[in-house]
Amino acid sequence: MAGSFEGKVALVTGGGTGVGAAIALQLAGQGARVIISGRRADVLAKTAAKSALIVPIAADVTDAAASKHLFEQIGSQLDIVIANAGAAESAPFHRLDLKTWKNQIDLNLTGVFTTFHHALPAMMQVNSGRLIAIASTAGLKGYAYVSAYTAAKHGVVGLTRALALELAKTGITVNAICPGFVDTPMLDHSIETIIRKTGKSRAEAVTALAASNPQKRLIQPDEVAQTVLWLCGPNSDSINGQAISISGGEI
């Protein structure tokens, strides 16, 4: 597949670390010009330094004006869009305040909306493109103590399915990728919470998180990135409106 995306332009939101960085590096490795966005310019710069084909642009996808400006900077060509920006905050539902609820919905669901909404005009001009949301197994089942995150990810899956039907007669496909617990810096927050609240060791905390996966392991970022390459590659035109679980059989 080397060079199979030469001439393509891709955007990866939340592209500075974890899954987003892995996706950006994989796409750039196949020849795509990749724009990565996120809130932290310094983090984006570190990932961009790993490939001459990666361009960092700091932007907050939950801010409509900032999101619009991001796409104005990208220009008229945009072949692949990966809506990856997101984060999880945990709390029992009875302690969940409205501010946290709104923040989780804004980042994990509204951020996908603004990203797809601003990306679509360029794709419709050429009747071609790939829209991919990085959702979660939380969009396919329930998880305790992350009700806001789970609700948002269910919304992402619903948005994906609805938009895929709207665009089914075009050359644009819309899909969601739903990983289980992924070995990323974002997961470190959950691990630290388990350690703090239960007194478990780090190894025990990781084992507890991996227990939901029948393979008893964490998903690796490159496994998600490889799925992105498949969805964006040749012979994937009929893969549309799907929520693809990467979870070792959990879903």
Q: Give the phi and the psi of residue 33 in degrees, each rounded to 5.
A: -85, 125
Burial of 7 (0-12, 13-18, 19+ CB in 10 A): exposed
**Residues taking part in catalysis:** 149
What confidence score (pLDDT) does residue 177 get? 98
Q: For residue range 4-61, what is the model confidence (pLDDT) as tens digits?
A: 899 999 999 999 999 999 999 999 999 999 999 999 999 999 999 999 999 999 999 9
- pTM of the entire structure? 0.94
* Residue among 223, 128, 122, 142 at smallest CA distance from 177: 223
Q: Which domain CATH number covers 113?
A: 3.40.50.720
Helix, strand or coil for residue 167?
Answer: coil
- Domain span holding position 205: 183-218
Say if residue 190 is in the same domain as residue 233: no
Q: For residue range 10-19, what is the model confidence (pLDDT) as tens digits?
A: 999 999 999 9
Tokens of 125: 């001009």
Say if residue 206 is in the same domain as residue 227: no
Answer whether residue 205 is part of any domain: yes
